[in-house]
Structure 1
Amino acid sequence: MKRRARTPRVKRVGLIGLGLMGAAFAQRLRAAGWEVIGFDLAPTCQQRARKLGVDLARDNAAVFALCDRVLLSLPTLRETKMVLREARHDLRPGQLLLDTTTGEPEQTVAIHRRLAALGVRYLDTTISGNSEQVAAGDDVLTMVGGDADAFAATRGLLRVLTSRVRHVGPAGSGARMKLVTNLVLGLNRAVLAEGLCFAEKLGFTRRAALEVLVASKAYSAIMDTKGEKMVREDFTPQARLSQHLKDVRLMVRAARAAQFKLPFTHVHRQLLEAAERAGLGALDNSALIKVLAGGKAR
């Protein structure tokens, strides 16, 4: 694509990573009138993004060359580092990067320091919600770590992506808080799956059990987002099981560094690893119920 002169009057943002969450971001931004210049290596992601109105750049570096604000929506920080290496000649003072990747907090801090030396502002911008919730404009929270002035400069953009935005501390804080929220969410999901399977063994249908759980003091919001998927065994991904396993491994490493034990999370990791071995990694994270129902984790 041809380069265009940058103008501060255009609401323009770069978006690298056009998978499930990246596509949800693109949908929100385009609906709010933003010009989105994006890139993804996967042809299927490119096709979907084009249909959403994203202008596709020729590569990652072109996105940085054209945009003063760039959103990163990548699987791991390894991809973030690769993208930054590719774009190193197009990084410039005053540029603002919002990285939504769930990654190792210490690596996030290291990236912040390297970019700060170049005058580039970097915010670890983690999302507590799945791609379907973001696309629908549901009540989703963004947790941001980094400099307060950089956060203030991008608050308007962030409010387009999710309904609630919170600055949780200096660089690395968004990544750390995401591990905390994902730990609680993941265990909620696993407990729901176990409860529904237990109910089946006691002679109830999953649907009957879910209806009672929703009406009882055992209710949690995870039942609204994952209960029906578990009942119908519709594991079309909102967030992939393998991605949550990656996050759980990050939790275990962070806890080890903090000299803290996570007994429930260790069991959860074993279940997720069993699910991945069973070929369920690309499915929605609610597919964990298949392992519990089939006893494959033993």
Structure 2
Amino acid sequence: MKKIGFIGIGLMGFPMAKNILKAGYSLKAFNRSPNKAEQLKEFGAEITTSIDDVVNNSDVVITMLTDDTAINEVMDSPNFLENLKSSATVIDMSSVKPTTATKYGNNLKSKNIKYLDAPVSGGTIGAEEASLAIMVGGEQDVFNEAFDVLKAMGNPTLVGPVGSGQVSKLANQIIVGLTIGAVAEAITLCEKAGANPNKMIKALSGGWADSKILQTHGKRMIDKDFTPKGRTSVHLKDMNNILECANSHNTHLPISNLVKEMYKTLVNNGQGETDHSSLYKEIERINKK
């Protein structure tokens, strides 16, 4: 059975690594702050203290890091590159720019290392339940080879060549960001006009406007519970990446641009660490003007 090296044991990485262990794989874990990784021991993980250790002798190396800066730090590191097995596959499950995925795909290919970009959607709940949507960019045979490992974390789909996974994730984040905005306006309208927003959500169940975002994020907005499941600062990063990708293809996304500006204001007003459903607060702020 394949040996897995997992880099990045955070809110998402922890349950994802746990599900790989549950599927019977041996897994070595590395995290910059080791205490987060320590808890994986009880599920059978080996905790390593360096990049060299986690990469060394692993058949598949999975990275699940915050952003491009964190990925660059790992993938440009000689400790990472020099310790990869020649037959290894690197799977980056972080959400980064498509250009970042393409860069490392080409870089690793030149060293005979296989690469997939495989960002995810479904949040911490999807990570816990192993029901993540996994959007994969890469070659068919590499995808086929890695399928069972990916399947332990959710539902993988190959969407095109390297970089396509990240483009699909950006498409996902357009829909999530814009829908959060739509739900925030719907809740606000109900509150202002005297309709019960909880009953509105129930009434819309099963109709065209129903969605996971209406059901989960709508509830958070009504309860004013913005404990982070997906952080506002991360969604702002995604919206910036969406617009950068669109601009590079001479494509205008006017609604994404509007939502990006709203997330930017939220972050500037100290809401970067709240849940991305706190876009509701920006609608609230606009109405207090």
TM-score (norm 1): 0.90
Cα offset for 1:235?
2.1
Fraction of identical pairs, as percent: 26
> Structure 1: 5+ residue runs without aligned partners?
1-8
Name the SS of the counterpart of 1:87 in structure 2.
Answer: helix
**Which residues in structure 2 correspond to 1:171-182 (within 5 Å)?**
171-182=162-173
The offset of 1:294, in angstroms, is 2.9
Alignment of 1:76-155 (within 5 A): 76-84=67-75, 85=77, 86-138=79-131, 140-155=132-147
- Rate the CA distance shift 1:216–1:68 in 2: closer, same or farther, 3 A: closer
Answer with 69-78 or 79-88: which moved more: 79-88
Does the Cα contact within 8 Å between 2:228 and 2:275 map onto a contact in 1? yes
**CA distance in structure 2 between the aligned counterparts of 1:144 and 1:83, rounded to whole angstroms:** 20
Shift of 1:239: 1.6
Can you list the C-alpha shifts for 1:4-51, whole angstroms capped at 9, x where unaligned? Answer: xxxxx4x43111011111012022112222222111112452344445
Q: Is the 8 A contact 1:245 1:269 kept in 2?
A: yes
Could you tell me whether the CA contact under 8 Å between 1:270 and 1:297 is conserved in 2?
no
Residue 185 (str. 1) matches residue 176 (str. 2):
yes
Q: Deviations over 1:99-156 (max 9, x none)?
A: 0111111221111111001111110011122121121233x32111111111111011
Residue 85 of structure 2 aligns with an amino acid whose one-letter code is R
- Shift of the 57–67 alpha-carbon distance from structure 1 to 2, 3 Å rule, reads same
Identify the residue that residue 42 of structure 1 maps to in structure 2.
33
What is the rounded CA distance, in whole Å, between the counterparts of 1:147 and 1:20 in structure 2?
A: 29
Give distance in 1, aligned partners of 2:34 and 2:284.
36
| Residue 28 of structure 1 pairs with residue 19 of structure 2 | yes
Structure 2 spans left out of the alignment, 5+ residues? none
Q: Is the 8 A contact 2:228 2:274 kept in 1?
A: yes
Contact 1:92–1:118 at 8 Å: present in 2 too? no
Query: Given that residues 26 and 52 in structure 1 are in contact (C-alpha distance below 8 angstroms), is that contact kept between their aligned partners in structure 2?
Result: no
Q: 1:249 aligns with which of 226, 237, 240?
A: 240
Q: CA deviation at 1:232?
A: 1.5
Partner Cα distance (1:63, 1:156) in 2:
20
Q: Which moved more, 1:165-174 or 1:224-233?
A: 224-233
Q: What CA distance in whole angstroms lies between the structure 1 residues aligned with 2:228 and 2:133?
A: 20
For residues 134-193 of structure 1, give each alpha carbon's deviation from its aligned partner in whole angstroms, at most 9, with x where no partner exists.
21233x32111111111111011111110x221111111111111111111211111111
Distance change in 2, residues 1:289/1:49 (3 Å) = farther
Give the Cα separation in 2 of the matches to 1:169 and 1:203: 48
1:64 maps to amino acid: V
CA distance in 1, matches of 2:41, 2:275: 24
Distance change in 2, residues 1:218/1:269 (3 Å): same
Letter of the structure 1 residue corresponding to residue 143 of structure 2: F
Amino acid at match of 1:187: L
The residue identity in structure 1 corresponding to 2:211 is: S
- 2:252 maps to which of 230, 237, 261: 261
